[in-house]
Structure 1
Amino acid sequence: MRQPSTITVETQGAIDILTLDRPAQLNAVSPDMISELTEYFSGLHDRPTTRVVILRGNGPAFSAGAELGSDAFAAPGNGRPQRQLKMQQNYSGVIRLMRSCPQPIIGLVHGAACGAGFSFLLACDVRFAAPDARMNAAYIRVGVGGCDMGSGYLLPRLVGLSVASEFLLTGRFLKAERAKTIGLISDVVPADDLLTRGMEFASEMLRTSPMGLRLTKQALNMLIDAPSLDAALMMEDRQQVILLETHDHREAVAAFRERRDPTYSDQ
């Protein structure tokens, strides 16, 4: 990966701490940031040694959303719809990569998380928030639709259609305590303790078998849209049969019987 300029990545064992790193711009999402996030999340698909990702923002905010004065908005003239669609797909493509990468993503939000920043949070698997966190689907407040970068798909599945409509149709802000009440975030944590909580949760995930963790995220992605209970059970059955044949399953059973921690090899 080329040296990034808008994000930083710190590796601690099997955990990557990915930080949006444009603090002077409140981590506004620029085309350069999208390019660097695309490169990072694309690389995760072939990097099983990274098992969990923690996503956070540097400075006073998680992310103020898309940088409105940037090249994300195509210049007028012939071919503008085509150019704008390509740029739009670059932005939304990050959400697709976040959901499809095999590593669970833990989002840590403080301050503002607007527009694209809000969608980044929705694409995480688990979220924790500081008391000052305030989130919104800002898109509708700048003259476009409230459903953008996956918000119209992800938010209703996380909190239900009625509550999602409340925020997508207005762009109103969702604060930390309400976000916890509706189940969007797992807990409200003092800002200084956010990373510690994220690392603790990531460490708990690392107590599972590597393949089991990857396939669980994959199954959750598929089962949310399963057409029936039968379809869901068939997928779960096949996943479990695969995992039962792994060395890590045998190691986990042995460790349980011997009252020790398992040592996984991803085999």
Structure 2
Amino acid sequence: MTITDDIHPMQNQQPMAGYRGIHFEWQVSDDHKVATIMLNRPDRKNPLTFDSYAELRDLFRALSYASDIKTVVITGAGGNFCSGGDVHEIIGPLTRMAMPQLLAFTQMTGDLVKAIRACPQPVVAAVAGVCAGAGAILTMAADIRLGTADCKTAFLFTRVGLAGADMGACAILPRIIGQGRASELLYTGRVMSGQEGLDWGFYNQLHESDQVLAAAQTLAAQIAAGPTFAHGVTKRCLHQEWNMGVDEAIDAEARAQAICMQTQDFHRAYHAFVARQKPVFEGD
């Protein structure tokens, strides 16, 4: 499948503004364009469970059909992002599972990353405090990452006897920070500081802990004000062109851009420019 095989405006089967999360908080901005997912088990630093993994996967899959939501912010409550898989509710049960059950679990967690990458909405991670294991993976899977100087990001799988090859880390992390740096983090499981993350390109910006969520929501709102359909095309191109040669990517982008030129937003931008006005994009 190439970039242009399934480019289409998002078909809104059911508005997501009224969605109610069971295992996390779901908030939508007043204009219904920016959704915020807040992992909300602050007493345990917001660990994931079997059920929260599955609900997040299903939510991001559903976002592919939600035209009301333009951008998504993911964050954690209580000063931490996510401490990874819950030791008692996930790690313990995994030690008692047979291979078919283990594979079903690891494929399900990988499907969450696939769903984040496949949803057309740009995803912004707002990270403070602990960001470890699966929490670091969720952050990695986002399109844009905002952190804090004191946030602690660790791909700590090797520290619990597992490979760093988890949920696409060996494919995605090197593309963000480089092969050598990714190798170090995945082999050692050590903490990457906020400043390291910024210097290495993992984090786009650093903010104070009490301001990082607001900064992420502001950035998400700025993106949401842009051409929704075109943003979805950009996200798909960024993801799929990892597997393309340069010539193939240029050809795919030519087809993608020609499709964008058929949108009403493209025409609105032209007429607004002629009238010396700011375009108001509507996503069609």
Is TM (by shorter chain) over 0.5? yes
Equivalent in the alignment of 2:112: 94
Alpha-carbon displacement from aligned partner over 1:114-169 (angstroms, at most 9, x marks no partner)? 00000000000000101220101111100011121121111001011011011011
Out of 24, 37, 51, the position equivalent to 1:7 is: 24
1:46 and 2:65 matched: yes
Secondary structure in structure 1 of the residue aligned to 2:72: strand
CA distance in 2, matches of 1:229, 1:3: 42
Name which structure has the greater RCO, CA cutoff 8 Å, separation 6+. Answer: 2
CA distance in 1, matches of 2:64, 2:52: 19
CA distance in 2, matches of 1:136, 1:175: 9
CA distance in 2, matches of 1:94, 1:231: 28
Secondary structure in structure 1 of the residue aligned to 2:68: coil
Equivalent in the alignment of 1:250: 267
Equivalent in the alignment of 1:260: 277
The amino acid that maps onto 2:275 is: E
Within 5 Å, give how 1:190-205 maps onto structure 2. Answer: 190-205=208-223
CA distance in 2, matches of 1:195, 1:144: 32
Secondary structure in structure 1 of the residue aligned to 2:53: helix
Q: How many residues align?
A: 264
Q: Structure 2 length normalisation: TM-score?
A: 0.89
CA distance in 2, matches of 1:163, 1:196: 30
How much identity, in percent, do the aligned residues show? 26
Secondary structure in structure 2 of the residue aligned to 1:174: strand
Deviation of 1:76 (Å): 3.6
1:174 and 2:185 matched: no
Change over 3 Å in CA distance of 1:151–1:75 after alignment to 2: closer
Q: Structure 1 length normalisation: TM-score?
A: 0.94
Deviation of 1:255 (Å): 1.1
Out of 146, 156, 160, the position equivalent to 1:142 is: 160
User: Unaligned 5+ residue runs, structure 1?
Assistant: none
The alignment yields a C-alpha RMSD, in angstroms, of 1.5
Q: Which runs of 4+ in 1 moved over 4 A?
A: none
